[in-house]
Amino acid sequence: MKCHGIPAPKKYPRVLDALVETVLSQNTSDSNSHRAYLSLRKRFPGWRAAAAARPRAIEAAIRTGGLAQIKSLRISKLLNLIARERKLISLEYLKKLSPERAYHKLLSYDGVGPKTAACTLLFGAGMPVFPVDTHVYRVCQRLGWAAPKESAENFQERVGLFIPPEQVFNLHVNLIAHGRQTCHPRRPDCGRCCLNIQCKYPHYSKSKNI
């Protein structure tokens, strides 16, 4: 928070909304995925209509988000699986579960991985479940929080146990901001990094010894 301040809260009206937009965000930018999400909701104002539609119709609606063929099939399968299981297309019941139970329930759905499950609960249910995306993983590796060969999934499971619940949202959002604005993949701006004293990244270590 010292570097990027306190982020504005972001929550979705429904948990399922958060899940679908998180699926759309995979391997693309936030702007592309949000545009695809808005297009999908315009074409299908209700999730029941989307579940009843052919995957190709969903694909056409989300084409601007990239990987539309894969994501349309994933979204269609998820909606229909939830409909069969719950008799209605909603995930609001997850808010009544503990974060751990809700997290593992989402993981039981085909196509939902650790990061997607964590993002869905953090943004859609306000639960303190810490997601580790590409930016968070990169920054945490350079800070030495994640072991060099530790997978993002394992790191997410481990680090979430040590973050105070009230800091989960702020830390996640600010680490993403730091990864995008300063700690770039190839040319991190170490000179103006507010975390450079704690950083273990070799590039910055070399610059300190000059």
Taking only the tens place, the pLDDT of each residue in 17-27 is: 999 999 999 98
**Both ends of the chain: CA-CA distance in Å?**
30
Q: Which of 134, 89, 94, 88 is nearest to 117 (CA)?
A: 94
> What integer best gives the mean pLDDT of the chain?
91
Fold match, 15-124 / 134-208: no
* Residue boundaries of the structural domains of the chain: 15-124, 134-208
Mean pLDDT, range 157-178, rounded to an integer: 95
Return the CATH architecture of domain 134-208: Orthogonal Bundle (1.10)
Mean pLDDT, range 30-35, rounded to an integer: 92
HSE value, Cβ hemisphere, 13 Å, CA-based, for 200: 10
Return the ∠ at Cα 37 (arms to 86 and 128), rounded to 5°: 60
Q: Is pLDDT of 207 > 70?
A: no
Taking only the tens place, the pLDDT of each residue in 39-86 is: 999 999 999 999 999 999 999 999 998 899 999 999 999 999 999 998
| pLDDT value of position 210 | 32
| pLDDT value of position 198 | 85
Q: Which CATH superfamily is domain 15-124 in?
A: Hypothetical protein; domain 2 (1.10.340.30)
| pLDDT value of position 39 | 97
Catalytic residue among 115, 149, 206, 208: 115
Q: Would you say 116 and 156 are in contact if contact means Cβ atoms under 8 Å apart? A: no
Tell me whether residue 115 is one of the annotated catalytic residues: yes
| pLDDT value of position 2 | 66
Taking only the tens place, the pLDDT of each residue in 73-132 is: 999 999 999 999 988 999 999 999 999 999 999 999 998 999 999 999 999 999 999 999
Compute the distance between CA of residue 58 and CA of residue 125 in angstroms, rounded to an integer: 25
